[in-house]
Structure 1
Amino acid sequence: MAALKIFVSSTCYDLNIIRGQMRTFLSSSGHEPIMSDYNDVLFDPRIHTHESCVQEVKNADIIILIIGSRFGGTAIPKITSNVDIEGLKSQTRGTKIFDTIDKLSITQLEILNAIESDIPIFTFVDSRVSYDHHFYEKNKNKGIIDQLDFPSIDKKDTAIYIFEFINFLRLRSKNNSVIDFSKFSDIEDYLRKQFSSLLQRLLFEQRNKVVEEKRLDFLSKQIEDIKTAILTTIPSDELKETAKGAIQFRGIIEFLLSFRNIDNIETIALKNIDWQQLITELGIVEFSETRDKRRKYSKRLFAALIRNDRKFYITPYELSTLFSFISEDWNEFSKLPDQRKTALLNAIKDNFIARDINRGIIFIEETFEEYQRDLLEQADDEE
């Protein structure tokens, strides 16, 4: 039976007792702890040990981060240069840690790579460090921070890097929970409740998924019956084929017609090219996900299609839907004869324009990074 792989990220020297207690807790709970000081990490002799730690992070299911008094060793430049700094900045308002990239520690690089891999992170901060962090926050803009000693921090010159990393984590747009602890039982109690709650939610969502699948299956059968009834009333075989095509390809055609700022979109729609070539024709260089600012309280993520100038389009689809159903519909539509594609395009275009509603995608006149920062500020205001 596969066990949950849990990577424990922290400095070792000052937290060796906590790490030992953590290992016992995780193992006794049936999980598989991954800890460098217990030889759980493969240290590939062909690469630096820092690279080995970062690579091992990506194999974990969960990350537990413990922040104590020490900063730890500075990461080698090679792994620092591989981090998507701009992408990470767009997810938080605590970006000061990136002002000195060369000062990032190996522990911090492990967490940054975990974030890029979208791995859940549970962060725990020694309560003494947390107290000094609050003091730092109240006084950091008064020009006296460099003169202060923080009792909880082992080396004075590392304080700012530890405190700003805490800011980076707690000011993220998601997975930003930072928990104080004074003894290991604080961590243990919290994790037991969280793991139990996660299991309960998984079971609940699985039950709901089954119910939704049955409901969708029932609706699909009803829709098929309606389509059959409508098509049987059309006398002409040619019109019947056009009607079938309009039903089948309406989604992909309306998706393309939504690119209102692309003058030759109808010409592009008639090309016999695959999905990847279509994306290139549309000027898209990157995919991501974002919320829609117009839906103020919605937490749903929509696929974002980013251009070379970093301005972008928001689609009404999740990224997985875009890469499955929409791309598959395009690959099938593009292979139709030109005459039939033109007929379908014209038939759907007239109805699409007449309704004058936002369908498909919406162009955003600001960069993706600016948009993400606005969302973070909006979320902060909502709190």
Structure 2
Amino acid sequence: MALLKVFVSSTCYDLNIVRGQLRASLQALGHEPVMSDYNDVLFDPRSHTHESCIKEIANADVVILIIGSRFGGTAIPKAVNSLDIDSLKSMSKGNKILEAPNKISITQLEIFKAIESSIPIFTFIDSKVLHDHLFYEKNKDKGILDSLEFPSIEKKESAVFIFEFINFLRLRSKNNSLVEFSRLADIEEYLRKQWSALFQRLLFEQRIMKSESRRLDAFSEELKDIKSLILSSISVGQAKEVGRGVLRYRRLIDFLNNFIHPNIQEILLSDISWEELLKCLDIKELKVVELNSGIRPTVYLVKTDGTFYITRYPIHLIQNIANEWKTFKNLATPVKQEVVAALTENLTNSSIGGPVSYRNKQLEDYLRERTESTENATIITATTISPNTMSDSGITTEEE
């Protein structure tokens, strides 16, 4: 049975006790620690040890980074040249550390290589270093850094490189969590909780994937029945065009047919714009809400009175549906009528379940109830999309 390979990256001399204790903890949990000071890295005699370290990174499942008081040795140019500096710069707003690649340390090199390889990184920073980093951030633009000593940093000249490395990590677009620690127990407790939560999310996503797979299988079978039904009941002259329309626009008609409106058929056969269509359905905005409970973001279509529709489609699929409407509304009227008639009749008896359902309550009340009923659930983001800008992907994000 393969074990989880955990690469531990840090300077060794100032953190040797923490590294030794962490190694024992990882082994007790049944994982395989990979640490250069314990001969877990293959040091190929044909290459430099720095090159061996970054090659070993590619074999890791996760990386634990510990930042302490030392900068460590500077990485050799050949190893640094293996980095895609431009790509790394695009991953973070804190790019000052990359402006002097000849000053990158071997520990930093390992982490940059892990980032390039999309390996998850769990970063821990000594509490004293984190405190001095905050002081550095407040004073770095005042021109006084050369006269400052940072008690947590062993060598004064390395402070800026350590602090700017922290900036690169915290200003990344993802995987930018930094955890303060003052003792090993802080690291152990955090890893236990995080890895347990990740395992729980993996199981949840696996269940969702199985559910979606069954849904797709049912959809595929139903689509075959629809195709056979339509092609056997329409005139030969337009059979091919209508058949194509049924296959292409089923999701569009399925989506719109679930809205409550006295003249939904009339709307489906109109040639109005997508924005006008949503206005006819009394939709004033779309809201994408993400909770921290592990469930993917949910899209709500909010009516002018504050009540809403909830959809199981992600926002990018709704954007695709909006684009499909642009071509569907321009079909020849007879073809459009055949497609709508065939699909709405079949979808009425669908056993798959509609993609949109109405909730006769205020969205704010619904979200409050949802977060209160789910343990530790809070709203991470609520992204509002106006119907007037949806076709141009105009999005305004409001942090809740």
Normalising by the smaller structure, the TM-score range is: 0.5 to 0.7
| 1:82 CA displacement | 2.2
| RMSD of aligned residue pairs (Cα, Å) | 3.1
Q: Which residue of 2 aligns with 1:52?
A: 52
Give deviations 1:273-313, integer Å, cap 9, x for gaps. xxxxxxxxxxxxxxxxxxxxx9987898xxxxxxxxxxxxx
| Bigger mean CA deviation after superposition, 178-187 or 196-205 | 196-205
Question: For residue 233 of structure 1, what is the amino acid of its counterpart?
Answer: S
Structure 2 regions of 5+ residues with no counterpart? 251-285, 291-295, 298-315, 318-323, 332-390
Distance 1:244 1:47, change over 3 A: farther
| 1:351 CA displacement | 4.2
| 1:189 CA displacement | 0.7
Where 1:66 maps in the other structure, the secondary structure is strand
Give deviations 1:130-162, integer Å, cap 9, x for gaps. 111111011111100111111111111000000
Q: Which residue of 2 aligns with 1:87?
A: 87
Tell me the distance in 1 between the aligned counterparts of 2:145 and 2:289.
Answer: 38
Q: Which residue of 2 aligns with 1:354?
A: 330
- Bigger-Rg structure (1/2): 2
Q: Which residue of 2 aligns with 1:312?
A: none
| 1:33 CA displacement | 0.5
Percent identity, aligned pairs only?
A: 58
Give deviations 1:112-132, integer Å, cap 9, x for gaps. 111111111000001111111
Once the two structures are superposed, the pairs formed by residues 41-190 of structure 1 within 5 Å of their partners are 41-190=41-190
Where 1:123 maps in the other structure, the secondary structure is strand
Distance 1:78 1:239, change over 3 A: farther
Give deviations 1:18-48, integer Å, cap 9, x for gaps. 0001110001100010111111111112211
Where 1:221 maps in the other structure, the secondary structure is helix
| 1:382 CA displacement | 3.8
| 1:77 CA displacement | 1.2
Tell me the distance in 2 between the aligned counterparts of 1:182 and 1:93.
Answer: 28
Where 2:175 maps in the other structure, the secondary structure is coil
Structure 1 regions of 5+ residues with no counterpart? 252-293, 301-315, 318-347, 356-361, 365-374
Residue 205 (structure 2) pairs with residue 191 (structure 1): no
Once the two structures are superposed, the pairs formed by residues 242-253 of structure 1 within 5 Å of their partners are none
Question: For residue 26 of structure 2, what is the amino acid of its counterpart?
Answer: L
Distance 1:353 1:109, change over 3 A: farther
Where 1:354 maps in the other structure, the secondary structure is coil
Question: For residue 66 of structure 1, what is the amino acid of its counterpart?
Answer: I
Tell me the distance in 2 between the aligned counterparts of 1:111 and 1:363.
Answer: 38
Distance 1:155 1:188, change over 3 A: same
Q: Which residue of 1 aligns with 2:37?
A: 37
Higher RCO (C-alpha 8 Å, min separation 6): 1
Once the two structures are superposed, the pairs formed by residues 248-267 of structure 1 within 5 Å of their partners are none
Q: TM-score scaled to structure 1, two decimals?
A: 0.65
Q: Which residue of 2 aligns with 1:321?
A: none
Question: For residue 216 of structure 1, what is the amino acid of its counterpart?
Answer: L
Where 1:232 maps in the other structure, the secondary structure is helix
Give deviations 1:146-204, integer Å, cap 9, x for gaps. 11111111111000000011111011111100001001011011111111111111111
Question: For residue 171 of structure 2, what is the amino acid of its counterpart?
Answer: L
Distance 1:177 1:351, change over 3 A: closer
Q: TM-score scaled to structure 2, two decimals?
A: 0.63
Question: For residue 149 of structure 1, what is the amino acid of its counterpart?
Answer: E
Give deviations 1:239-282, integer Å, cap 9, x for gaps. 6566666777899xxxxxxxxxxxxxxxxxxxxxxxxxxxxxxx
Q: Which residue of 1 aligns with 2:19?
A: 19
Distance 1:208 1:235, change over 3 A: same
Q: Which residue of 1 aligns with 2:211?
A: 211
